Amino acid sequence: MLPNVLLISGQDEWTKITEVIEHIVLPQLEVNGTSFLLRPEAISSPPSQEVVLVVKHQTPVSRKYVVTQMAFLLKGQAVVLVEGKHKVLKALAGILAPKEFQIDLHGKVGNQTPYSEWLTFIVTTFGAIVTQCRLTPQAHYEGNCYLIVHEGLPELLMKGEQPNKVTIMAVLGLLARARPFLPTFWELLPVSFVEMPPAVRQALQFLHNSYNRPLRLSELAKWCHVNHAHLCRLFQQWVGISPLAYLAKLRMSAAWKLLTETKIPPTLVASLVGYSKWSQFSQQFMRTFGMKPTQVRKSVVLEPLKFGDFRDTVPN
């Protein structure tokens, strides 16, 4: 398996994604309809020992919340695996599949790993999750997971078993005009950010881009090209708290926003802000706010907390 590396494209990444939807994907659908979208039932190639999975495609939410999966190959070539079968795709191409199918976008035939760039959409019961990724012979690069909260999206796709051109274009059009719900909190960077050592700036950029993923301190230190002990000392000196405490602040800020402004179940909120275990999320939330996540939903009036209102806590 190739290593997963965070793909940081800057603060305008979502703008670039919407431009791809509007100027590449939608025109392709307009001209060719759904004929360039591969459907799982159309894959007839038998399993082969020469086909190897390079990177496991991770779905950021439980499959029970998934309505439809879409992915568009923007550049390069890809070996797509679906339920043990495979298909070689060349850009521009796409794949559309119901939630029942396990899709892996990154396979290879033989020893050569193909270069590919993907834009993926997971339409869920609460909206959609959008991300982009890139596969090279050296690594798999994955961009931010953008959460779009829109109750109308799943309703569009639930009306029929086979989404047609008009429906798919309507869904993508809504996504292109939407604003991601989970922010990167760039405005919350320390005032002294530009004066900080490169390792601290890189760490902050990494955390703001990927707080909603499961993260390890060793991964953060590797990204900054320093050992974790040195990074912790620098972070404490310049930011005033540890990297893990800063990560907890970002996650808890996002969790509060989701719990107070959406109807997304608390258990799903936990995974959307980077926690793989509910118990860890609930304990951190209780330490930070003095109340359980489920109590937030039951409250009648809640004032959004500011970033500075957090206690200096460290996640498990």
pLDDT in tens, 20-38: 999 999 999 999 888 888 8
Give the pLDDT confidence score for residue 10 in this predicted structure: 58
Q: How confident is the model at residue 57 (pLDDT cuts 50, 70, 90)?
A: low
**pLDDT(50) > 90:** no
Task: Identify whether the C-beta of residue 148 lies closer than 8 Å to the C-beta of residue 130.
Answer: yes
**pLDDT(119) > 90:** yes
Mean pLDDT of 8-13: 66
Q: In CATH, what is the architecture of 186-309? A: Orthogonal Bundle (1.10)
Give the pLDDT confidence score for residue 302 in this predicted structure: 45
**pLDDT(189) > 70:** yes
Q: How far apart are CA 124 and CA 130, in angstroms?
A: 11
- Tell if the pTM clears 0.85, that is, is over it: no
Give the pLDDT confidence score for residue 76 in this predicted structure: 95
Q: How far apart are CA 8 and CA 5, in angstroms?
A: 9
Domain layout of the chain by residue ranges:
4-177, 186-309
Q: State the chain's mean pLDDT as an integer.
A: 84
Kindly report, residue by residue over 220-240, the tens digit of the pLDDT. Answer: 998 899 999 999 999 999 999
Give the pLDDT confidence score for residue 312 in this predicted structure: 42
- Of 170-179, 195-204, 267-276, 291-300, the one with minimum mean pLDDT is 291-300
